[in-house]
Structure formats: structure tokens, C-alpha cells
Amino acid sequence: MAQQHLEPTDPTAGLTGDALAGYLRAQATEFLRALRLHRETGGSSNGSSAGSGSEEAVDAARALRRSARRISGSLHTFRPLLDPDWAEAIRPELAWLSGTLAMEHAYSGRLERLLLALHRLSGAVGLPGQPSDATSGVAAGSRAAGAAPVPKKAAHTDAGPPSGQPTERGNLTVGAAKAGALLERQLTLARTRAHSTALQALGSSRFHAVADHIAVLASDVPLTPTAPTADLRPLAAAAEERLTDAITALPLVTAGCPYNAEALIHGLSPDPAPHPQDAPWHQVRLLLRLHRYALEVLHGEKAPVDARLLTAGQALNRHRDASEAAAAAAAAARTPRIAPATAYALGVLHADQRHEVEAARFTFQQSWQKQAVGTA
């Protein structure tokens, strides 16, 4: 990708460590504000459960994750300008916190995605391409174009057709209904455990130590002696270079094909480990996030959003969601003593989500190739 993103022509082009300090102080302040809101709402929910104050608690947890990720990412990208002992001590703790807070939301979204896919695959929702296909997640045209589905939030996880007529579980085949019930039990249990883990984490001495570090960061950023006058752009450019190198290593030619036969090689493997093709794509997603945070430090969060980076990021998020949903379906299919029809439905669901993985890769490939042509 061309370096034009990192060479602004405005008067703030010569950004130094002072700008990094201001950014970190602002993110630390956001973290403390979110923490105060979370405590005021009683921490009643870190996920999507209903109840009084739950929306505020969800927003607070999201804001905590958001600021923790940005602080951690900035410490990684600009670590030569920061006290090394302090940065290396706090960065893993921020990663632990953001990961812990994200789990309940991830399980909730995964369950919703899989149940919507089951209804779509069973023909229990509107036909693809019709205006009422909002909850079906994907239309025939979007699949042909390689676009991964973006299921919209439903009133409940078993939402039916948007016409207002509820879809009962009896409208599904027996195998699909039992598969949905199994997934609902497993992922609801996982979500409940993740919620308890998050609440325990927020009350732990480990979290209080992190909060103390962030409180100090809000007023005093431990820069190195030369950092206040150091240019930030070379370090931001290095983050972009790591991203472009990782993208170059991706099989974009394969991702540009309508059918990736190589993805089936491990399809029947008994190994429950993540799909071997997914890891490089997940790494690109993380590097893209770091690049985006570096641009925020350089230009501020109010800078115009790069639509191409946004499209690429959305495709990689869909890739991650579909990959994890496929893994959840495969894990459910390994449940002992389930009926053959249930196992079959889960197998179809797994294949469907792997197709969505391929669709997200295709979308990313198309977006990135257009970007490469536009900046050549």
C-alpha cells in the first residue's frame, strides 16, 4: 500500500512524541470514564442480556475494550518512544482485559449467527433477494458476488421472518431444530460463564492494578527522554509495512477464485484445532487494527475515514466471525450420542460458515486489489 496515508500535507505533518502522549492520555481518560459508568450501572451486563441498566453496562464494557485495545496497540507500535519496562508490563494486561471483556459478546453473536444460518438453510425465512430477507443474513446475489452475510440484530436469537409472523422451531427440520437447541445450550452456557469470568476479572486485584496504571497514564505518560521531539511517522510507517508484508503472504490468488478446493483438505480432520488456513488472515486483521490505531495517533480520531481500510476491516471481521462460528458448529457435532440428523444439520451448518469464510476472503481480495490499483 502506498505511503500517502502516512504523509499528510497539513501543518500537523511533523508529529512528535508529544502527540503520542496526548493520544494515550485521551484514551486513558476514556478508559476511566467507562470504568466509572460500568460501576454506576452495577456491571449488570457485559453482553446482550436484557434488564434495567444493561444497555449502559454494555456500552461501558465496549468502551473499556475500545480504549484498552487502543492503548495496547499504541504501546506496541510506538514502544521505542516509551519506557520499555512499563510498556512491556502493562501491554499484556490490557490484552488480557480486552480479551476477557470481549468473550461474552462473542458467544452471543456466534449463537445468533448460527441460529440465523440454520433458519436460512432450512428455508424458514424469506427467499433470498426479497426485501424481507433482512434477517436471513445473505442473499443469492451477495453470495455470487462473494459478499459475506451481515445478520441484523433480531428481537431474539430465534427470530423468524421480518413479516412479524414468528418462526417456531417446528418449522425447521427435526435435525436442524435439534442442532439449534444443542448450539443454544452450549453457547448460552459458554456466554454465562464468560459473563461470570468478566465480572470476576473486573473485581480482581489484577484489574485494579491495571486501572491504577491507566489512572497514572491519564496524567503522566512515561516517554523516553528523546521521545517528545521524535518523529512518529517512521514507526507508523513500519506498522503499515508489517501489514502489507502480511497481506502479500496471503493466498490472494486463491481468495480471488469462486471456489477454494484446498479448504476441503482438512474438512474431515479429527483435529479440533482452528482451521490451518485461517491464522494468517486473523493476523492480518490484527495488523490492520494496529495500522488504523497508528493513523489515529497521527491524524486524530476525527480524521476522515479511509473507506478502503474500512471495507477491508469489515471483511476480515466477517472472516473471523464465520471462522469461529464454523468451529462452534464442528465442536457441537462432536457431542457424543447425538442423532445422525442432528450431526448432518451441524455438518451442513459448518460447511455454510466455511463458505462464508471464503466469501469474506473474496471480498477482502477484491477490496485490496482495487486499493492497490488506485494507489499504484
User: pLDDT: is 158 or 29 the higher one?
Assistant: 29
- Residue 172 has, within 13 A of its CA and on its CB side, a CA count of 27
Give the position of cell 512499563: 86
Against a cut of 0.85, is the pTM above it?
Answer: no
Query: Per residue in 127-136, pLDDT tens?
Result: 333 333 333 3
Query: Per residue in 82-106, pLDDT tens?
Result: 999 999 999 999 999 999 999 999 9
Cα separation, 58 vs 314, whole angstroms:
21
Phi, psi (5° rounding) for residue 298?
A: -70, -45
User: What pLDDT score was predicted for residue 251?
Assistant: 83
Residue 373 has pLDDT above 50, yes or no: no
Percent of the chain scoring above 70 in pLDDT: 72
Confidence of residue 356 (pLDDT cuts 50, 70, 90): very high
Range from 85-94, 101-110, 168-177, 366-375 carrying the lowest mean pLDDT: 366-375
281-295: average pLDDT? 95
Confidence of residue 245 (pLDDT cuts 50, 70, 90): very high
Residue 296 corresponds to which cell in the numbers above?
A: 489515529
User: What pLDDT score was predicted for residue 173?
Assistant: 84
Neighbour tally for 306: CB within 10 Å: 15
Query: Per residue in 15-48, pLDDT tens?
Result: 889 999 999 999 999 999 999 998 888 665 444 4
Range from 80-84, 103-107, 241-245, 252-256 carrying the lowest mean pLDDT: 252-256
User: What pLDDT score was predicted for residue 258?
Assistant: 61
219-226: average pLDDT? 93
Neighbour tally for 169: CB within 10 Å: 17
Q: Which amino acid is at 312?
A: A
How far CA 46 is from CA of 37, 63, 241, in Å, comes to 12, 11, 35
Q: Which of 267, 307, 305, 263 lies closest to 281, judged by CA?
A: 263
Residue 265 has pLDDT above 70, yes or no: no
Across the chain, mean pLDDT equals 80
Torsion 203-205-209-210 (CA) sign: negative
Q: Which of 48, 240, 4 lies closest to 156, judged by CA?
A: 48
Query: Per residue in 294-348, pLDDT tens?
Result: 999 998 766 667 788 889 999 999 999 999 999 999 999 999 999 999 999 999 9
Q: Which amino acid is at 168?
A: E
Neighbour tally for 259: CB within 10 Å: 10
